[in-house]
Structure 1
Amino acid sequence: MKKPLTIKDIAELANVSIATVSRVLNNNSWVSDKTREKVQKVIDEHHFSPNLMARSMISRKSMTLAVVVSDITSPYFATLVEQIEKACQQAGYKIVLFDTQSANKRSESSLVIAEDQIFSTIIDSQLDGVIILGGNIDYLNIPEGYLEGLQKLIATLPVIVVGRKLAHYGYTCLQRDQVNCVKMITGYLLEKGHRDIAFIGGSPGVYMTGQRVNAFRETLQQAGIAAENAQVIETNFYAQHGYEAIKKLLASGRALPQALLAINDRVAMGAIRALKDNGISVPENIAVASCECFPGSEYYVPRLTTVDHQNNVLGQHVIQQMMTLLQDMLPESPAIPPLFVAGESA
């Protein structure tokens, strides 16, 4: 009885790598038409029909990626994971999601899972690569245990981080533009004639907050406004923290600013609710804008003036980079420009 062909045999007959055959079999969009036709011709001629288990055994790949996220309930992380999963499916991969719940610091400490423990689980699970979205890597003070776990992870698997780049750690990093998004929206408020602008939301312990606050102050300074006099109320990243920021603002005894710049749409929504509860109308009495658009904001009343970071494009780039890493090549890190979204709130 003739021995059935394997993926390795198909690769040799088509004069391509095993990884390329795997991508063709999984209908991966990152294979050229010419290469796809060459491989498919061999597959058709030999009536080759592999199953997933055989494919994994031959290629030594699980065709599965780990995605570590610090709070899947956050609209930013939820939409980005959705885009990553779609891109993974196109590439013939699956994802395993690890949600640490570390972004929204909660009183139920049992909900928070140590990320270094997750890294150990991933190493033991024989996955093909890891995508890290936020978490301890974005904090100014990073636990030593996390750094040790990250180093072990990098030594074992291809790692992509969407967020902060740490010196002396060899992972691929895709950094979002945290500066121009703020300059764009602050500049818009200034063009509307607002000179007294307050910044709300974010956390002083998070690297990204510092980037956005510094960009805010720098834009004011360039406009001839004393940035040190601008109010900055750092609470956190969720709707309730926008509400808390307004309570602090009203309790400060200072006059209400002409405009508010929220760190993201959820904080802006919480702020608008708090303003309304205190008889203050948006945008009639005060303008409110946001540094980061979340899905559904276009249905809010009023529609938010905000910035789109193009998470759909970001998710595609993440998987393109991972596919490149899995071929033992260094990926490029393209810039994804933020886009201004005109609304009714400012």
Structure 2
Amino acid sequence: MKKITIQEIAKLSGVSVSTVSRVINNSPSVSAAKRKKIQAIIDEHNYTPSVFARGMVNKQTKNIGVILPDISNPYFISLITQIQKFALDYMFSTILFNTMLAEPNNKNSKHPLTEEDYLKIILEKQVDGLLILGGEIDKEVVSKDYINALNQLNREIPVVVIGSKIPELNCLFIERNLKKGITTLVSHLTALDHKNIGFIGGEAGVKITSYRLESFKAAMASYNHSVNEDWIVLSDYYTADGYAAMTKLLENNTTLPTALVAINDNVAIGAIRAINDAKLSCPEDIAIVSCDQFMNGDYQTPRLTSMDQHNEYLGKMALLQLISAINGQVEPMIINHNPELIIRESCGSKL
């Protein structure tokens, strides 16, 4: 059977092609009677609009680019999963750019790419807009070359960043509540009679580390807890880094904290392994809580007490902001990001 065209649907319905198009795109500016008649013909002929053809009419490719720094990181896995899911709901495809091979992480490559190079590649792919989930944008000091390249890209297509706003950048930002999670964790540990609390994990020079460490110190001060700098060990965001940080803390201190705040679940898991290898126990000797809940925290031993950052909400809001900008609505979106404490075994709580 020959596939019916939108022109033929318009002729059968006795309306214009633009009216049929508005029905297909769920526009409210069509009367209920006309919409019912047109939809009946669409259903009768099993008409499916061509995404490519609709893109040609609207001058859209229906593709969005997504930049992230490491696809192996569970935080980015959960975030991109939600973004792709919601993008499909709006008939958008995602093109993923994993910049972990960019300099300086890929110094051994014969042809290393900078993140500015990735921005040029993205424009060549003719995407309708770009989401940035991390990387250079998350550093405390962002290079001028990157800022200039991103501003230039933003003049061509809308750019939305999940991260802290940078005044020099003209793109749109979805800002997370990075302080509430730390305050909640310190409050919870204090309620469990912990005063000697340390902080492990996170890379120096990265905003999420500095913001969370600053919030940790502020929360400790609010409860009149002293901060022991020897119990603060920065490393990175992975399991091996948690193990290394915990090992260093155990080897360099005769007096140990009774509880630790880990930058994420990966670091918490590594730290617990190091505690066990030192013939100690979590939470009996050292309780551990995590700032970022990843997958499978409920299946670790002990089960991890973590902050659920609700990445499904962040992903959806970022995508809606980007699609709005693609459609010409570039007003910043105000979001209500509220991390949630998930109490399990690693903090020692009886709940």
- The TM-score bracket by the shorter chain reads 0.7 to 0.9
What CA distance in whole angstroms lies between the structure 1 residues aligned with 2:238 and 2:8? 52
Alpha-carbon offset, residue 295 of structure 1: 1.1
1:153-164 equivalent positions in 2, closer than 5 A: 153-164=153-164
Checking the alignment, whether the CA contact within 8 Å between 1:261 and 1:289 is kept in structure 2 is: yes
CA 1:33 to 1:274, structure 2 compared with 1: closer, same or farther past 3 Å? farther
Bigger mean CA deviation after superposition, 57-66 or 104-113? 104-113
Which residue number corresponds to residue 94 of structure 1? Answer: 93
What CA distance in whole angstroms lies between the structure 2 residues aligned with 1:51 and 1:11? 15
Consecutive unaligned residues in structure 2, runs of 5 or more: none
Which residue number corresponds to residue 344 of structure 1? Answer: 345
1:1-346 equivalent positions in 2, closer than 5 A: 5=7, 12-13=18-19, 23-24=25-26, 41-42=37-38, 44-45=40-41, 49-101=48-100, 106=105, 109-110=108-109, 113-227=113-227, 231-329=231-329, 330-346=331-347
What CA distance in whole angstroms lies between the structure 2 residues aligned with 1:238 and 1:250? 19
CA 1:265 to 1:123, structure 2 compared with 1: closer, same or farther past 3 Å? same
What CA distance in whole angstroms lies between the structure 1 residues aligned with 2:112 and 2:298? 32
Give the counterpart letter for 1:92 in structure 2: M
CA 1:130 to 1:278, structure 2 compared with 1: closer, same or farther past 3 Å? same
What CA distance in whole angstroms lies between the structure 2 residues aligned with 1:249 and 1:35? 69
What CA distance in whole angstroms lies between the structure 1 residues aligned with 2:208 and 2:9? 45
TM-score after normalising by structure 2: 0.87
Checking the alignment, whether the CA contact within 8 Å between 2:159 and 2:172 is kept in structure 1 is: yes
Checking the alignment, whether the CA contact within 8 Å between 1:65 and 1:129 is kept in structure 2 is: yes
Consecutive unaligned residues in structure 1, runs of 5 or more: 25-30
What CA distance in whole angstroms lies between the structure 2 residues aligned with 1:33 and 1:288? 56
Bigger mean CA deviation after superposition, 283-292 or 230-239? 230-239
Give the counterpart letter for 1:148 in structure 2: N
CA 1:245 to 1:59, structure 2 compared with 1: closer, same or farther past 3 Å? same
Alpha-carbon offset, residue 11 of structure 1: 6.5
Alpha-carbon offset, residue 316 of structure 1: 1.4
Give the counterpart letter for 2:147 in structure 1: L
Count of aligned pairs: 335
Alpha-carbon offset, residue 148 of structure 1: 1.7
Alpha-carbon offset, residue 303 of structure 1: 0.3
Checking the alignment, whether the CA contact within 8 Å between 2:241 and 2:270 is kept in structure 1 is: yes
What CA distance in whole angstroms lies between the structure 2 residues aligned with 1:149 and 1:11? 41
Alpha-carbon offset, residue 177 of structure 1: 1.1
What CA distance in whole angstroms lies between the structure 2 residues aligned with 1:200 and 1:233? 5
What CA distance in whole angstroms lies between the structure 1 residues aligned with 2:55 and 2:24? 9
CA 1:125 to 1:33, structure 2 compared with 1: closer, same or farther past 3 Å? same
Alpha-carbon offset, residue 285 of structure 1: 1.0
Bigger mean CA deviation after superposition, 316-325 or 261-270? 316-325
**SS of 2:85 mapped into structure 1:** helix
Alpha-carbon offset, residue 227 of structure 1: 2.9
Alpha-carbon offset, residue 4 of structure 1: 5.8
TM-score after normalising by structure 1: 0.88
Alpha-carbon offset, residue 313 of structure 1: 1.5
CA RMSD of aligned residues (A): 2.9
Give the counterpart letter for 1:321 in structure 2: Q
Q: How big is each residue's C-alpha offset from its partner over 1:110-163, in whole Å with a ceiling of 9 and x where there is no partner?
A: 396421111101112211000000000110122222112111111110111001
CA 1:70 to 1:263, structure 2 compared with 1: closer, same or farther past 3 Å? same
